[in-house]
Amino acid sequence: MKLIFTLLLFATSFWTSVEQSSLLHLAPIYKMPTDDLEAFAVNKEIPDEIRNITLEALSHFPELLGVKIDFQFKSNINGSVMQAQPKVFSVIFNDKDTRSYRVKISRNLVFEDGFLPIEELPKDVLLGWIGHELGHIMDYLDRSSADLLHFGAKYFCSPKFVTQAEINADTYALAAGLGTQLITHKEYVLNHEMLSEEYKEKIRKLYLSPSQIMTMLDEEEFEQVN
């Protein structure tokens, strides 16, 4: 958790003032073996179409091993492509160790001239996208029920808080070793001619930019070399 805390401090300073923020060194990322991805399927409900890629994303987050997460296809998610949330009744009636979560996933990525089934996205794009949502769940894990309810209220009422929550999720995914995939995901969205400018502007406003993630990755590589 020390690494993640350091990264969160880095992301917060980057978001507040990129020019004035100092670069923090990232420790080497520990990765669990991924020979048997089904080991990461415990307490997970995953549509067959995205099972393998979801398990690969989960393999980067050993803290989520055994955590109850339902991945659900949806036709419409209020202007989003994916959305990770704790289940409401679970927040109220369960403690944080037995809480359950859901990740809503749009069945299709909608373009201005058509749509694409979500499983047909390039692998690293989808891996980065799912990794970001798992970053949200990492952010929820150690929060008390009262804290999560407060989190939810602020998320719906404060655009500034939404931005920080999205940066936190990116930072958890980066700490898990998915920085390259996060960059690929964001570049895919920002450079795709058939995605709406409104959605692109949302990505620019709320998330770490590809260049910011690249800077953090460069710092990690420099630390590992030295």
pLDDT in tens, 122-160: 999 999 999 999 999 999 999 999 999 999 899 989 889
Report the C-alpha gap between 204 and 200 in whole angstroms. Answer: 6
Tally of domains in the chain: 1
Per-residue confidence at 223, pLDDT binned at 50, 70, 90?
A: low
Average pLDDT over residues 184-191: 96
Residue 90: closest CA among 153, 140, 53, 23? 140
Query: Across residues 25-37, what is the average pLDDT?
Result: 50
- Could you tell me which residues come within 8 angstroms of residue 2 by beta carbon, excluding any fewer than 6 positions away? 27
What does the buried/exposed string (b/e) look like for 70-79 if buried means 16 or more CB atoms within 10 Å of the residue's CB? ebeeeeeeee
Mean of all residue pLDDT scores within the chain: 85
What lies within 8 Å, CB to CB, of 25 at 6+ separation is 219, 220, 222, 223
| pLDDT for residue 5 is more than 90 | no
Report pLDDT digits (tens) over 81-122.
999 999 999 999 999 999 999 999 999 999 988 999 999 999
**Which residues span the domain enclosing 98?**
2-225
Kindly tell me if the per-residue pLDDT of 23 is higher than 50: no
Sign of dihedral through CA atoms 90, 96, 97, 103?
positive
Amino acid, res. 62: P
Kindly report the pTM of this predicted structure.
0.83
